[in-house]
Structure 1
Amino acid sequence: MPLRPSQWNFEIDDYLNPWLPAAPWKHVPYPIAHFLGHRPGPQRPLGNIAMIFWALIGVFCSLIIIEFAGRAIPSFEAHGAPIIIGSFGAAAVLEFYAIESPLAQPRSAVLGQLFSSIIGVAIGKLFALGSVSRDLTWLGGSLSCACAVAFMALTGTVHPPAGATALLAVVDPNVAHLGWFLLPVVLLDCVLMQCVALLLNNIQRRFPVYWWTPAEVGRRKQQEKSNSDYSSENGTKLEITTTHHLERDVSEEAKVVIKRGRVLVPDDMYLSPEERMFLEELSERL
C-alpha cells in the first residue's frame, strides 16, 4: 500500500521527550535560574539599539576568549590547532543577536556542532584512504556537509554554522589535519561560547528560550508517577498529569481541572514552564 504524504514524517522528539526530566526550576535558586534562561513572567521587549550593543559585546568577548583558550592550551598547540574554527564566527551571530531563533538554542548549538564534526572527520578519513584523495576533496566536502545537514534535521539539532564545520573538516587543511582531535576543540569552543552567552544575554534579554525543546517533556515519567500516586493512599503530593489516565475524574470533554494538590490537563495540551508554575500555585491556594 502506498504511503500518504502525511506519513512521511519523523520527529525524534516524539520518542525522546516522554522520557526526559522536566525543567528543575523549582529546585534552583532564582538568581541562578535567571542566568539559565528561566523567567517567571513574560520578558519585557528590548529596543534594537540595546540588542546590537549586547551583540557587539557578546561576539567580541566570546571569540576572544575562544582564541585565547586555543593559544593557551598546550595540547591544542601540539596538534597545530587553529586559534579558532571559522564556523564559530557565524555561530556568534546566532548566539548573541538572533538569540530567540531555534537555531541558536543550546541543543542545536552544541549537538549540531558535535554531530557535524564527527561526520566531517569520518568522511574526511574515509576519502583519505584512496590514492587520489586530494583530487576528491571537493566531493568529500560536499558529501560531508550534506550528511551533516540531514543528520541535524533528523535529530532536531539544526545549526547552520555546523554545516560549515563539517565542510571545513574535509576541505580546509588547517582543520582536516586535526582528525579526531577536532572534537575536543569544537566542544571546548561550544562550551565557552555558551557560557558567555548565558552570562551576557541574560542581563537584559533571555537566553536560552529553551534548553531542549519548547514542547512538553517527561510525560512518560509523569504518567508512571501519577499512576503510582493515584493507587496509593497518600494524595498530598502535588502532581500535574494528563486526563488520559484519569478518566474517572474528568469527562471526555477537554478541560483543565484544578484540585487541591493536583492539576489535570488534557494529554494533548502543551503547558509552558511558566503556565505550569501558575497552575501549581493556584492548586496550592485551594
Structure 2
Amino acid sequence: IAEPFPQSACKRPNHGRRPRRLNIGVMKSPVEEVKESGSGVEVNGKFYDNSVDGVQEIIALMRKIEAGDVELAKSKGGSNDPTKPLLREKEENCLSAYFNRWKHKRDAPYLQSTNVVVWSWIGSFLGIAVLCYIHYEVCLKYTENLIFIVGSFGAQAVLLFAAPKAPLAQPWNAVIGNGVSAFAGICAWHIVGDGLGVMWLAGALAVSIAIVFMHWTNSLHPPGGATALIAVMEMKRVHELSFLYILFPAMLASMVHVAVALVVNNISADPLRSYPMTWIPFNMKPKTK
C-alpha cells in the first residue's frame, strides 16, 4: 500500500462549510471493501480524499488490520455489519496467554567439559579456602567480633569460578553488589527488625531494597540478596558488627575472592576462560537508535 500524501497538502479550503467526516463504522450500507488509493481511501468503490475528516484514522486502522492487531467485525450473514463498530480488537484468552509463558523456550544446555569442571573446582576450593583461613585463623583468633565469611560467599564462588563470563559475576558486581546489599540488610535490621520487632518484614525489605540498590548501581549480584538477608536473620555476631558488616566481610572479602578469581581463571590454557569480561559497569558509548 502506497503511503498517503500529507493531510495538510491535500486539504481544500472549507469556505465556512461544516467539514465532512467519514465514519465507515456507521455507514448506511455494509462495508464490503476498504482500500487505500492515491491521496485517500476508497470505500465500496467511492473515493474519499484526505480533505475528509476521519480518512487518516481509517488509514491507521487499515495498518492495524494488515499487522493482524484488529479484524473486521462480521455480521451473521458474513458481511460487515454497519450497525456495529467496523473494527474490534482480537479476543485472546488471557489465562491461556499467561500459561503459554511457562512453556519450554530453548534447548537445555550441554554438559560442561572436564576442563571447565576441573578449573571450577580448583577455583572454588582455593577461593573459599582463603576466606575461611582469614576468618578462622585471623578474625576469630585476634579480633573480638570481625568475621570474613558468610553463607552468601558460597553462591559467589559459583559465579566467580563456574560462570566467570556471566555479567553478574564481574568484579564490580561482586564487590559493589555485596556492599550495597549489606547496607540494605543492616538498615532493615535496625529500623524494622530490631526497632519494630517485625522480623519477617525486615527480611523481605532487606532483600527487595538490596535489589533496588543493585539496579541503581548496575551491580546486580545474586549472592547480594543472601548477604542482605543474613544481615537480618543471622547470628548475633553479625548484628554486633552493625554497619561494619558492609566492610567485614561484604566488600573486603569480596575483593579477596575476586583477586583469587583473577589469578585462577586466567591460568587455564583454555582461551575461552578468562576473567574479567569488564571492569567498567557502565556503557560509556553514546546510545544509537
Question: 1:172-220 CA distances to partner (integer Å, 9 max, x unpaired)?
Answer: 12433321221221222111101100001011221001112373x3x6x
1:23-42 CA-partner distances (Å, limit 9, x unpaired): xxxxxxxxxxxxxxxxxxxx
Residue 11 of structure 2 is matched in structure 1 by none
Query: Where do 4+ consecutive residues of structure 1 move more than 4 Å?
Result: 74-77
2:200 aligns with 138
Q: 1:90 aligns with which of 147, 152, 155?
A: 155
Structure 2: runs of 5+ lacking an equivalent? 1-111
CA distance, structure 2, for counterparts of residue 189 and residue 60 of structure 1 = 15
1:193 to 253, 257, 263: 257
| 1:55-109: CA deviation from partner (whole Å, max 9, x where unpaired) | 1011010101001111233588534345621000000000001111100011111
Match of 1:106 in 2: 171
- The structure with the largest helix share of the pair is 1
Partner in structure 1 of residue 276 of structure 2: 208
Partner amino acid, structure 2, of 1:85: V
Aligned residue runs from structure 1 range 33-52, under 5 A: 48-52=113-117
TM-score by length of 2: 0.55
Partner Cα distance (1:67, 1:95) in 2: 17
Distance 2:182 2:133 in 1: 21
TM-score for the superposition, normalised by structure 1:
0.55
1:177 aligns with 2:245: no
Counterparts of 2:214 and 2:247, CA distance in 1: 19
Q: Distance in 2 between matches of 1:103 and 1:48?
A: 22
State the shift of 1:138 in Å: 1.6
Q: How far does the alpha carbon of each residue in 1:147-168 deviate from its partner, in whole angstroms, 9 at most, with x for none?
A: 0011112221100000000001
From 196, 211, 223, the counterpart of 1:161: 223
CA contact (8 A) 2:146 2:241 kept: yes
The aligned amino acid for 1:139 is L
The alpha-carbon distance between structure 1 residues 84 and 74, as it changes in their structure 2 partners (threshold 3 A), is closer
Aligned amino acid, residue 199 of structure 1:
V
Q: Is the 8 A contact 1:117 1:165 kept in 2?
A: yes
CA distance in 2, matches of 1:206, 1:59: 15
Give unpaired runs (5+ residues) of structure 1: 1-46, 220-266, 270-286
Residue matched to 1:34: none
* Percent of residue pairs identical: 33
Taking a change above 3 Å as real, the CA distance of residues 79 and 179 of structure 1, as seen in their structure-2 partners, is farther
Instruction: Report the AA paired with residue 184 of structure 1.
Output: L
Letter in 1 for 2:205: L
Letter in 1 for 2:280: W
Measured against aligned partners, the alpha-carbon deviations of 1:113-170 in whole angstroms (never above 9, x if no partner) come to 000011111121112553x52xx11210111100001111222110000000000101
Report the CA distance shift for 1:73/1:154 in structure 2 as closer, same or farther (over 3 A): same
* Cα pair 2:119 2:161 within 8 Å, conserved: yes
Seen in structure 2, the aligned counterparts of structure 1 residues 54 and 110 have a Cα distance that, compared at 3 Å, is same
Per chain length, whose mean CA-contact separation is higher, i.e. which structure has more relative contact order (CA < 8 Å, sep 6+)? 1
Task: After TM superposition, give the deviation of residue 110 of structure 1 in Å.
Answer: 0.7
Q: Structure 2: which amino acid aligns with 1:196?
A: V
Match of 2:209 among 147, 152, 168: 147
Q: CA RMSD in A?
A: 2.4
Matched, 1:125 2:190: yes
* Pairs aligned (count): 172
